[in-house]
């Protein structure tokens, strides 16, 4: 971008913040209150495992989107890619929820350790260690104290890496806003070089720790079942929901100063990636089912057969339709990716469908089919965690510009787009 472009950013620097309005703060407070009330009512009714399970999968759902908000910039920094520079700060704002999710996870693990409110009954292998006695690998890996220590360590490392990664970038931009343009320019180059080097090992660390948490927190709910595709499958879900969230955020900010630097190219590329990860998610789902079908192993097929009974079977058939079939065909035309009436509802549908997918992973292991009824506890806790997620993003946006003002690659990307 030309020198005039830098001046343009500097003159409008205050307009790139995203402070929450009184209405937004009220909505966030209401959502969190709904979550707290739901948690309290569920506990008062003695539905301990169901409440903990709903809290687990709702937190994990938003944790995945938040972690994806750190993964995408790391990929861009390794490659030195430019196309996503106008929207990377939107993804980075999601990472503000990682410490919140980490706190909820650690609190849950503490409740399991100290046997608070039936939390230890959530994982059947803790309540009944004999259930995995005949599986040497599982009884060696699923040891309660070892499980607790490694998961807390993994959560803390992810919080530290994501905070360090985003913190350097926001410090550079805050220096620019404060008027230290020369210092911000030097910091911009230094941060670019440092992250180009460190983002690759960060991504490797994320892949290992994320897979660890996916196995320990989600898959071990069904301790006699296992899947070697689990980490990759959840990565596909993470990236699909990340790009769906980005699509919704981009459209929501379209009329603002932040949205003015988001061009058709960003909508097109986010739409392509949302489309691509919808296919990748479906491919890995099919790979799961195909393998268990021709293997015909009772301990594997039982996991799926249980979910083909009411009430879960409705999710099994409807969720893939919304998260795969519709995006597959609707998002093929180029114009669909930058047309709000098409891409916005598809993105919203993907998020809804994948929320039900998470429910399908967790709740059948906890609630008897006939006792499930309407998912009121699950929805109530969804609203609560969604409120915490929104509150985290708005708090981030009030402290940091939602455009990477001092990123040298942003200016290069906008200069190329202008030509």
CA distance 4 to 307: 60
Q: Give the rounded percent of residues in the chain with a pLDDT score beyond 70.
A: 98
Cβ atoms 270, 242 nearer than 8 A: no
Q: What is the mean pLDDT of the chain?
A: 91
Q: Indicate if the pLDDT at residue 411 is higher than 90.
A: no
How many domains, the chain? 1
Q: Indicate if the pLDDT at residue 1 is higher than 50.
A: no
Q: Indicate if the pLDDT at residue 309 is higher than 60.
A: yes
Cβ atoms 380, 37 nearer than 8 A: yes
Q: What is the pLDDT of residue 3?
A: 40
Q: What is the pLDDT of residue 2?
A: 38
Nearest to 225 by CA among 299, 149, 329, 169: 299
Which tokens go with 388? Answer: 């915490």
Nearest to 86 by CA among 257, 336, 245, 338: 257
Give the pTM.
0.94
CB atoms within 10 A of CB 46: 11
CA distance 369 to 7: 62
Q: Indicate if the pLDDT at residue 6 is higher than 80.
A: no
Residues in CB range of 84: below 8 A, 6 or more apart:
72, 76, 91, 266, 269
b/e map 301-320, b = 16+ CB within 10 Å: eebeeebeeeebeebeeebb
366-380 residue pLDDT tens: 988 777 888 899 999
88-122 residue pLDDT tens: 999 999 999 999 999 999 999 999 999 999 898 89
Helix pair 230-252, 340-362: axis angle to 10 deg? 140
Q: What is the pLDDT of residue 5?
A: 54
Q: What is the CA radius of gyration of the chain?
A: 22
If one compares 35 and 369, the residue with the highest pLDDT of the two is 35
Nearest to 16 by CA among 403, 409, 390, 408: 403
What is the span of the domain harbouring residue 29? 3-418
Report CA-CA distances (Å) from 13 to 7, 200, 251, 332, 347: 9, 31, 21, 37, 30
Cβ atoms 338, 271 nearer than 8 A: yes
């Amino acid at each position: 971008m030309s020198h005039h472009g830098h001046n343009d950013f500097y003159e409008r620097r205050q307009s790139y913040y995203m402070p929450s309005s009184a209405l937004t703060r009220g909505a966030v407070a209401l959502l969190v209150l709904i979550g707290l009330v739901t948690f309290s009512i569920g506990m008062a009714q003695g539905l301990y495992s169901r409440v903990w399970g709903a809290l687990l999968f709702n937190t994990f759902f938003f944790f995945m989107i938040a972690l994806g908000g750190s993964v995408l910039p790391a990929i861009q920094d390794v490659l030195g890619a430019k196309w996503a520079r106008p929207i990377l700060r939107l993804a980075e704002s999601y990472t503000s929820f990682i410490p919140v999710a980490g706190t909820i996870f650690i609190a849950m693990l503490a409740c399991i350790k100290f046997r608070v409110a039936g939390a230890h009954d959530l994982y059947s292998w803790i309540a009944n260690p004999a259930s995995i006695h005949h599986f040497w690998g599982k009884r060696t890996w699923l040891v309660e104290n070892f499980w607790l220590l490694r998961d807390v360590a993994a959560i803390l490392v992810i919080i530290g890496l994501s905070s360090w990664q985003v913190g350097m970038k926001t410090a550079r931009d805050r220096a620019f806003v404060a008027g230290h343009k020369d210092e911000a320019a030097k910091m911009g180059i230094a941060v670019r070089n440092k992250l180009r080097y460190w983002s690759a090992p960060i991504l490797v660390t994320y892949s290992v720790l994320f897979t660890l948490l996916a196995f320990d927190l989600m898959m071990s709910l069904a301790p006699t079942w296992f899947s070697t595709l689990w980490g990759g499958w959840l990565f596909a879900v993470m990236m699909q929901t990340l790009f769906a969230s980005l699509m919704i955020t981009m459209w929501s900010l379209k009329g603002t100063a932040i949205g003015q630097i988001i061009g058709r190219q960003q909508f097109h590329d986010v739409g392509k990636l949302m489309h691509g990860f919808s296919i990748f998610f479906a491919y890995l789902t099919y790979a799961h089912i195909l393998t268990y079908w021709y293997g015909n192993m009772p301990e594997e097929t039982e996991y799926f057969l249980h979910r083909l009974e009411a009430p879960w079977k409705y999710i099994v058939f409807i969720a893939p339709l919304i998260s795969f079939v519709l995006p597959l065909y609707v998002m093929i035309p180029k114009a669909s990716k930058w047309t709000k009436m098409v891409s916005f509802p598809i993105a919203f549908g993907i998020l809804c469908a994948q929320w039900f997918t998470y429910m399908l992973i967790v709740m059948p292991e906890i609630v008897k089919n006939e006792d499930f009824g309407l998912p009121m506890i699950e929805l109530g806790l969804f609203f609560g965690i969604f409120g915490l997620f929104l509150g985290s993003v708005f708090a981030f946006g009030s402290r940091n510009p939602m455009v990477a003002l001092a990123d040298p690659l942003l200016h290069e990307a906008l200069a190329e787009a202008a030509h």
